[in-house]
Amino acid sequence: MKSGYDRVKSQLPVEYWSNEECLEWVANLPEHKDKIREAFIGNNVDGQMMKELSSKNNLELRRIFPSLNLDECNYLSLELKKLFKSESASSSQDAIALFFNKISPTELELEEEIAQGNFGKVFRAKYAHQDVAAKRLKLNPSLSSAEKQQTIIEFVSEAKRMFLVCFHPNIVRPLGYCVEECTLVLEYLNKGSVESALIKRNELSDPDEMCLVIRVISFIYLC
C-alpha cells in the first residue's frame, strides 16, 4: 500500500509544498485526517512548516495545534517523521533521477551552438519533438579515469544545484540529464540571453532594464 507521500502529485521536495499539497498528504493519512486537516488549514501549514514540525514531539505539537489531543499529536508526529525519512531515503538513492528524466544520447539531437562558458557549450537541440537547450560539459580527452570520474561528480553537483532552484520563475527549467555525454537538458528560451537583451540589442527601456537587473541580483543573493 502506498503512503500519503507516494500519492501526492507534486514532484517538489516536501519543504517546498504549498498548503494545498500538504492538505493532499493529510487526506491520505489512515487516521485522524479530518482533525489534522482542520489544524493545518487553521495554521496555513506549508512544506517548510511541516519540516519544522517533523522535529517536534507530541507535547510541542499540542501547543501548536491546541485543537488536537495528545494521541492525535503523537500520531501526527510519527507520520511527519515517516514522511521526511521516506523523502530522505529516496533522495540519497539518486536525487536527480527522482525529479529529472534520464535521457539517452540517442534521444537528443544537437543542432547549433548558442553559447559557451567555463562549464562547457550550450546547443539548441531537439528532444521529444521539442526545442531544448543542451548544456554539455567540457571534457578534456587527455583526462585520466580518476579525473574523468571527478568531472562527472562535478556535473552531477551542477545538476543537483539546478534542481534545487528549478521551480523559481526566473530560472530556466531543467528537463533531464544525460550522464553518458555529461549533458543537462533545459527548456529553450527563444528570445536570447540576458546579455543580449541588456547590452547587444538594448531592447529594454531603462525601468524594465533596472527591474530585470534587480530581480537577477536579488535571486543570486538569496542563493
| Closest CA relative to residue 175, chosen from 167, 183, 185, 166 | 185
Alpha helices in the chain (DSSP H): 4-7, 19-27, 33-42, 47-53, 58-64, 70-99, 145-165, 194-195, 206-222
Identify the pLDDT of residue 201.
53
Classify 4-94 by CATH class. Answer: mainly alpha
Q: What are the residue boundaries of the structural domains of the chain, listed by start?
A: 4-94, 102-190, 192-223
Checking if the pLDDT of 203 tops 80, the result is no
Q: What is the mean pLDDT of the chain?
A: 78
| Per-residue pLDDT reduced to its tens digit, 78-129 | 999 888 876 654 544 444 444 557 788 899 999 999 988 877 899 999 998 8
Q: In this structure, are residues 46 and 18 in contact, taking their beta carbons and an 8 Å threshold?
A: yes
Cα–Cα distance, 144 to 56 (Å, whole number):
49
173 three-class SS: coil
Q: Answer with the residue of higher pLDDT: 29 or 149.
A: 29
Mean of the pLDDT values across residues 145-158? 77
Identify the pLDDT of residue 217.
59
Angle at 87 between CA 82 and CA 88, to 5 degrees: 95
Checking if the pLDDT of 7 tops 50, the result is no
- Architecture field, domain 102-190: 2-Layer Sandwich (3.30)
Checking if the pLDDT of 166 tops 80, the result is no
Cα–Cα distance, 22 to 47 (Å, whole number):
7
Query: What confidence tier does 2 reach under pLDDT thresholds 50, 70, 90?
Result: very low
Identify the pLDDT of residue 92.
41
Cα–Cα distance, 210 to 204 (Å, whole number):
9
